Amino acid sequence: MSTTDNEANKGLALPGLIVGLVTGFAVYGIVEFWIDDVDYKPPAFTTLFFVMTSAAAYLLISETGNRIKAAIPAIAIAGILALADFNMASHVDDGNADLNAFPVVFWFFLGRSLVAYLMVTLVKSVIDSGAPPQYERVFFHGVTLPLITGGAKVFAGLALVLLFAWARLLKEFDVNFFNKLFQEPWFIFPFLGAIGGLSIAMMRGQQAIIGALRFILLLFSKIVILITALFTVTLILVMATKGVDALYVANFDRPAAIIVALALIGMLIFNGVYQNGENPPPPMWLRLAAIITLIGFPIYTLIAANALFVRVDLYGLTPPRITGLAIAGLVAAYSVVCIAGLLTEINWRSKKWMPLVAPLNTLMALAWIVVLFMLATPIFNPWAMSARSQYNLLADRKVTATDFDYGYLRFELGKYGDKALDDILALTDHPQASDIAEGVRWAREANSKWEYSRGENRPEMLPTPADNPPVDAAPEQETMDEPAVEAEPEQHPND
């Protein structure tokens, strides 16, 4: 931490407290007088997220010399995210009950946070070094911001626990005023906002602690990369002796998801070793471990991508699978960074280690922002894309009418699935047109997904979950509720 960085984080406690307090009152007003009083809630929820995001971004971006100017990028970040927030909130409105919730859950619980984090990181880097940002600052803020927000959450959580413990203690002495006060929304929302804002400011002022935590993380990366390299060598040997198919019959579920997760972990560990791109090559043992890890990265991504594409070809797109493909694509794109780093190792005695990795890492951060944001916009509507893909399965006769899951269109894809059912009914030249009509009829007569699968009036020609064919039988239309990254092709579709 430089002297400039220390000075930039001085005097933030009072602004943090004020911004947090004002934000808390704003949240209370939106929740109490807007969200609870309207039937159409997406505008209110979008405004709520906008207020909280702009406040948090401001507290992370602002410094001693730019407290007013910091509001501009903070509001811009919140405004960009609000476009996706409104779109996703609209899909969980009461009028869209029969809709797979995975894209909405993924956006609000993971995608949104990651996009906001990367955007704040790049903005702070541009403020420090100008545009385009220097990777040294991108890496510094990329490591520091999670430590600040994580520490702030710990502080705020402890404060909340102490508050309620104090109120509980007073209640034991028949002093109920504070216990009732702390349960009032008009008090608890501003209190949480003030504590949250103050906690962020306090964490930003603890530069010695943050520096120590950063050192521990980077040291941990250097140790763990040895394990990563060993695992990479082992996996390559297994595939060389037993073939890639050995991964798909291994004694664990969803190997494609596990492989992508390992690739992501390997990416983070490598960057912890690589650090800010300004350092000379590390010691020989660490350098070789990093090279081995980079060699394994493209192999991991190719295996995972192959499993996903096979799954899509057999069973079509679903909202979770679209997200899985997007993440797998981003992970695969990082193979370019890995290959670029390996190519620079040809110049073994270079003064700077893998110089191409630094600028490519910044471009990858931008790619993650764009892809994750686009997934939450109408441009890449996962429900519409899935409905069209499922229609094509039947129209192109990749799956029989008796094996097709009409209930998935009816109860998971909302109005898009309903339109796809209309399109399916229009396939009058299909050799199984009568079975298609019967399947669509039952899907629309069923009152729930459970009734569609288990109802007494279910047409005999439609399969039930009990109809489990042998593993080597022709693939059936699978049940669509799956996580973001899909399982091995050999897994039974009804699992």
Q: What angle in degrees, to the nearest 10, is found between the helix axes of 357-375 and 112-129?
A: 140
pLDDT tens string 417-465: 999 999 999 998 999 999 999 999 989 888 888 888 775 556 666 655 4
Residue 464: predicted pLDDT:
53
Residue 291 CB-density burial (10 A; 0-12 exposed, 13-18 middle, 19+ buried) = middle
Kindly state the tokens that stand for 349: 């005695």
| Cβ neighbours around 241 below 10 Å, total | 8
In this predicted structure, the answer to whether residue 479 has a pLDDT above a threshold of 60 is: no
Q: What does the alpha-carbon distance between residue 383 and residue 389 come to, in Å, rounded to a whole number?
A: 10
Give the chain's radius of gyration (CA, Å): 26
The pTM of this model reads: 0.85
Residue 474: predicted pLDDT:
38
- Quick one: average pLDDT of 211-233? 92
Give me the chain's average pLDDT, please: 84
Phi, psi of 280 (to 5 degrees): -70, 170
Residue 44: predicted pLDDT:
94
Q: Which residues pair with 99 in a beta bridge?
A: 413
Kindly state the tokens that stand for 415: 């109005």
Between the CA of residue 376 and those of 64, 75, 153, 157, what are the distances in Å?
35, 19, 26, 30
* Range with lowest mean pLDDT among 131-135, 152-156, 261-265, 450-454: 450-454
Q: What does the alpha-carbon distance between residue 299 and residue 259 come to, in Å, rounded to a whole number?
A: 10
Residue 469: predicted pLDDT:
39
The amino acid occupying position 455 is G
pLDDT tens string 63-114: 877 778 899 999 999 999 999 999 999 887 655 567 888 999 999 999 999 9
Out of 43-52, 264-273, 394-403, 469-478, the most confident range is 43-52
Residue 296: predicted pLDDT:
86
pLDDT tens string 329-357: 998 899 899 999 999 998 888 888 999 99
- Quick one: average pLDDT of 46-59? 96
